[in-house]
Chain A
């Protein structure tokens, strides 16, 4: 029997948010914006995988998998996973409003974002069955409300949805920005 089988609320995950876009985009700018966002929010940013395939004549398929981690307190950390997959990508020359030429990318992009609040990330409370039971009790009865309504909430609204809005802004989508962006952060 694994500790995950009986420990309550070992982690709390957010719903996955998606973006699908077809058109012209600046991939370098998008990547830098995401990395910069996590840098500002004090996350450690890792590139887990980058897969380049060229299955057809229409352009390359590239998969980027990123993971960002932040140890918020001693007991919990935030993990955000970002999967970006591009299809039919090829470079195009774009003339900007000021008349200068810039190389950008044309194709389809598919973004998935999801976050997790992980409790006891150093696994200190899983060294013995007694400690694991204690951790389960603590998560289930003592800090349950804090997990559900503060830690999870902050991750979802301040990180995941903000990043989602940032990506839409960089892609200049019609749905860019979100109304609740200034309303959080007071707990």
Chain B
């Protein structure tokens, strides 16, 4: 494993109310797919408890930017006390899930994933010089693009929840 740098640390959404959880998962997977990431499912846990369902779902999709750098986004969803409730949508009675969801998004950039520049301290030093000085403009550009992807995902989730959203500018890709 190469040098993993945390770019987005615990971007969090906390939501309680009616929600179709299957659609939420699909929406996130679709977003990840459209952005060109490969899917990696880390956790898919579901437990039926007395107060409703407990769900833990975690994916960490990745995307190679160059043969040296890749993005990793970690999306973790925790759902508590999820029960089915009746709602009226477009004049029709349907069932949706109701409960509390906590979504945590992290973003990482992994440099030198093949560990080619970690074989001795001198190479390690060269890698640090390269990342921080020689290739600095590109490194910052990569970081900004990852932040933009995560902001975009965050915004998508908020839209999906139909949350009260302040007017805000989604970061522009560099």
User: Which chain A residues have a beta carbon within 8 Å of chain B's beta carbons?
Assistant: 15, 17-24, 108, 157, 161, 164, 168, 171, 173-180, 183
Contacts and interface: CB of A to CB of B under 8 A. Distances in A.
A174 B43 contact: no
Contacts of A20: 43-47
Interface stretch (B33-41, B108-116, B139-147): B33-41
Given A23-B46, A23-B48, A175 B40 contact: no
A22 B43 CA distance: 14
B45 A183 contact: no
A15 B41 CA distance: 8
Contacts of A175: 21-22, 25, 44, 46, 55, 57
Interface of B: 21-22, 25-27, 29-30, 33, 39-49, 53, 55, 57, 79, 82, 97
Main secondary structure of the interface of B (DSSP, over half): strand
A180 B47 contact: no
Nearest to A153: B38
Contacts of A108: 47
A180 B25 contact: no
Main secondary structure of the interface of A (DSSP, over half): mixed
A-B CB proximity, top 7 nearest: A23-B48, A22-B47, A20-B45, A179-B29, A179-B30, A179-B26, A17-B41
Contact of A180 (B21, B39, B43, B49): B39
Contacts of B55: 174-175
Contacts of A183: 33
A173 B25 CA distance: 12
B53 to A, nearest CB: 7
22 contacts: A17-B44, A18-B42, A18-B44, A18-B45, A19-B44, A20-B44, A20-B47, A21-B45, A22-B48, A22-B49, A23-B47, A164-B44, A173-B46, A175-B21, A175-B46, A175-B55, A177-B22, A177-B26, A178-B39, A179-B26, A179-B33, A180-B30
Given A21-B47, A23-B46, A173-B44, A178 B22 contact: no
Nearest to A178: B29
Contact of A174 (B21, B29, B33, B42): B21
A179 B25 CA distance: 8
Given A21-B45, A183-B33, A174 B53 contact: yes
A164 B39 CA distance: 12
A184 to B, nearest CB: 10
Contacts of B41: 15, 17-18, 161, 164
A164 to B, nearest CB: 7
A15 B47 CA distance: 23
A25 to B, nearest CB: 10
Given A18-B43, A179-B26, 10 more contacts: A18-B41, A19-B45, A22-B48, A23-B46, A24-B48, A174-B46, A174-B79, A175-B21, A177-B22, A177-B26
B82 A174 contact: yes
A164 B21 CA distance: 18
Contacts of B26: 177-179
Given A174-B55, A175-B21, A180 B46 contact: no
